[in-house]
Chains A and B, each alone.
Chain A
Amino acid sequence: MNEVSLWTGFWPFTPERFAIWVGAILTLCIYSFLYRDNPFYKFAEHLLVGVSAGYWALIYWNANIVGQLLVPVLRGGVLLPLVPGVLGLLMFTRFFPRFAWISRYAIAFYVGGYAGLAIPSYMQARVLAQVHAAMAPTVSITAALLLIGLICSLLYFFFSREHKGVLGGASRIGIWFLMVGFGASFGYTVMARVSLLIGRMQFLFRDWLGLIR
């Protein structure tokens, strides 16, 4: 970084240039946490939380209240969205301690409905699809490893017996399979995180300071 590049990076002062400066300063404020907690980090943290909370409130309002309740009911004449609308209104009874119990009905609908939606999809995607894939109609090392890995990993999560004897041996193989999988996942994810860091560095050194082209 030198004086000339900073000056040329700041001038002419356009809205885009201003946005880059704000982004760069906030990035440095957040990175200052690597040293220790400090006022710059606190400022950036509170700003981020406040702005994002406001942003998401607006998203919720537009996507859910306007998009899924007001427009279908008032313009489309569809009455069904009124049911979740009323349940949503019940949630506001939490602000009145005397009537707060009413909000539990809305929560009950919400939890029950979501659990009902989730269980079939979990059964299909995480149980049946896995078993289906393990029954590969080929004789190969990969297919055998997949089947052995599935069985041993399942046995590791068998809680009704102590892991001794055959079950103990199988579950030990299972945890090895799991750890090998986690190791591969670790390496893969670290690579993805490094690419995120590179992106931020490019923002600082190219877009902000203009030190790299």
Chain B
Amino acid sequence: MDGRLCRAAGFPAGPGLAALSPRVASRIPPALRCIAPEAAVRDMVNPRRPALLAAVLRAAGSARSLVLLIPLVGVLLIPHARAEVAVGPATPLDLSAVSPAPPANIRASDTPNDGGGAITLRWDLSPDDGAGLGTVTGYVISRVDTSGGEPMLLAALGPGVDTYVDSPVEDGTPYTYFVTAMAGDVASRGAGGTSALAGPQWFNFGRTSVLVSIVGFAALLIWFISRARRGTELFIRKIAGLEAVDEAVGRATELGKPILYVSGLNPMDDVATLAAINILGRVARRAAEYGSKLVVPCYDPMVMAVEQEVVKEAFLEVGRPDAYREEMVFYVTNSQFGYTAAVDGIMVRDRPATNFFMGYFYAESLILAETGASTGAIQIAGTDAVAQLPFFITACDYTLIGEELYAASAYLSREPLLLGSLKGQDWAKLILVVLAITGAVLSVARFDWFRGLFAAR
């Protein structure tokens, strides 16, 4: 290392060191061994001048001594400085001016398990990063595409970093990458480029566990649905909130008041919204049978379109297409509290006998449930929004908690397709319980591979 340092700084490596006694040579700092040793070691082998200067300073001690001290210091220091100039570069070597060793083994490859548009760069750290000279302050990543030209600076990374993902890039276009180690403003030399193409993959192996889970779950569902269709009796325990649905619709009919159905604020991509729409079908069928008025204010226009279809179909199924009115299901607004204000207004003016709050809710949950409670309506809520469940539990007569909401449509309709799917879900839960216990035991016993199977990326 000393030899490389010396050559980089323009000095021969350690001339004259051999002439010194081992005791003296050992006292010279490694970084100084390449410069003229006689200059570097002079103060060590002849330390009288600094010692004398210190003694004079100690003796000075008072203001009166300063008069004598100033010329004396001059006498002591001037010959010393002159001697330094005469000998040559005796100042310690500035390591920040030395190029660090470049990173080695730079590899560029298409980022695996992605939809394309990314290239991953990896490299071995510079020998001077944390070790060696220890001067590396970071790495600079640059790129040249097929058009050539000057490398484009992509990123400046810190020391100790050996990976970089370049995204977005064009799929199928070759890019050449350069990784340069930096020591302050000084770059490493001789780092060659490495090329790669980006492209999409058909399958994300990082999510194999998700695929296996879905396939296994689907197999369970198909098995139980086929059993249900063959006429096997499938038992479902009582769910109080769902038992109350028919009763609540009947109450609205007896009182001659409308039924308010709110299906949450999330769009169609939410499972809770899908479950809410399934329950709406059941409520609409009952409302059509009993001749009750149904009011369904919607937050999302697409959810409104789907709910109009569901309600229409429900009225058709029970032979009451004449009773269906498109204005039963209507759009209000996409503003959270604008929607809340409107539904509150409906509750206090139309005084529905029954309020359903099914789906995903946010901060409006308590406002809706409290207003409904103040009107004396029977209220049934169901949501998988954990933060909102407490408000529904306190302000509603019945609350479907999470999974109960998903189970509702099967429970209410008793259709083989839905019952089979509910059974499949139950068995999936049992399997999860067994896996969780097994995984916990194995993890505690340091068999982490089993736990790793559940880590999807």
Residues of A at the B interface (CB closer than 8 Å) are 30, 33, 36-37, 41-42, 44-45, 48-49, 51-53, 55-56, 59-60, 91, 94, 103-104, 107, 110-111, 114-115, 117-120, 122-124, 127-129, 131-132, 134-139, 143, 147, 150-151, 154-155, 157-163, 178, 181-183, 185-186, 188-189, 193
Which of the segments B53-61, B233-241, B243-251 contacts the partner chain? B233-241
Q: In whole angstroms, how far apart are the Cα atoms of A163 and B235 in the complex?
A: 12
Contact of A56 among B335, B411, B448 (CB under 8 A): B335
Evaluate contact between A185 and B387: CB separation under 8 angstroms. yes
Using Cβ atoms and an 8 Å threshold, which residues of chain B touch A45? Answer: 341-342, 344-345
Taken residue by residue from 424 to 442, chain B's Cβ proximity to chain A (1 for < 8 Å, 0 otherwise) reads as 0011011011011101101
A171 vs chain B, min Cβ distance (A): 10
Using Cβ atoms and an 8 Å threshold, which residues of chain A touch B333? Answer: 48-49, 52-53, 56
Q: In whole angstroms, how far apart are the Cα atoms of A94 and B331 in the complex?
A: 14
Please name 18 pairs of A and B residues whose Cβ atoms are closer than 8 Å in the assembled complex, sorted by A. Answer: A48-B333, A48-B335, A49-B339, A53-B332, A107-B309, A111-B268, A117-B269, A124-B207, A128-B209, A129-B456, A137-B443, A155-B433, A158-B426, A182-B393, A185-B387, A186-B390, A189-B388, A189-B391
Using Cβ atoms and an 8 Å threshold, which residues of chain A touch B450? Answer: 135
Evaluate contact between A137 and B446: CB separation under 8 angstroms. yes
Q: Secondary structure at chain A's binding surface: helix, strand, loop or mixed?
A: helix
Is B19 in contact with chain A by the CB < 8 A criterion?
no
Evaluate contact between B443 and A107: CB separation under 8 angstroms. no
Evaluate contact between B235 and A160: CB separation under 8 angstroms. yes
Q: Secondary structure at chain B's binding surface: helix, strand, loop or mixed?
A: helix
Is B404 in contact with chain A by the CB < 8 A criterion?
yes
Which of A45, A110, A137, A159 has most B Cβ within 10 Å?
A159
Evaluate contact between A134 and B439: CB separation under 8 angstroms. yes
Given contacts A55-B335, A135-B436, A181-B386, contact A42 B271 (CB under 8 A): no
Using Cβ atoms and an 8 Å threshold, which residues of chain B touch A155? Answer: 429, 433
Given contacts A37-B348, A52-B335, A185-B386, contact A120 B207 (CB under 8 A): yes
Q: Which residue of A lies closest to B399 (CB)?
A: A182
Using Cβ atoms and an 8 Å threshold, which residues of chain A touch B98? Answer: none
Q: Which residue of A lies closest to B341 (CB)?
A: A45
Given contacts A42-B345, A49-B341, A147-B436, contact A135 B209 (CB under 8 A): no
Q: In whole angstroms, how far apart are the Cα atoms of A189 and B366 in the complex?
A: 11
Evaluate contact between A147 and B437: CB separation under 8 angstroms. yes
Evaluate contact between B237 and A162: CB separation under 8 angstroms. yes
Given contacts A114-B268, A127-B213, A134-B440, 12 further A-B contacts (CB under 8 A): A49-B342, A107-B306, A123-B213, A128-B454, A150-B436, A157-B402, A157-B403, A157-B404, A158-B426, A159-B236, A188-B387, A193-B363
User: 9 tightest CB-CB pairs across the interface, nearest first?
Assistant: A52-B335, A135-B439, A186-B390, A56-B334, A52-B338, A137-B443, A157-B403, A132-B454, A114-B269
Q: Which residue of A lies closest to B422 (CB)?
A: A159
Given contacts A103-B305, A114-B269, A150-B436, contact A135 B451 (CB under 8 A): yes
Given contacts A45-B341, A185-B390, contact A135 B305 (CB under 8 A): no
Q: In whole angstroms, how far apart are the Cα atoms of A147 and B439 in the complex?
A: 10
Evaluate contact between B235 and A189: CB separation under 8 angstroms. no
Using Cβ atoms and an 8 Å threshold, which residues of chain A touch B337? Answer: 48
Q: Which residue of A lies closest to B441 (CB)?
A: A135
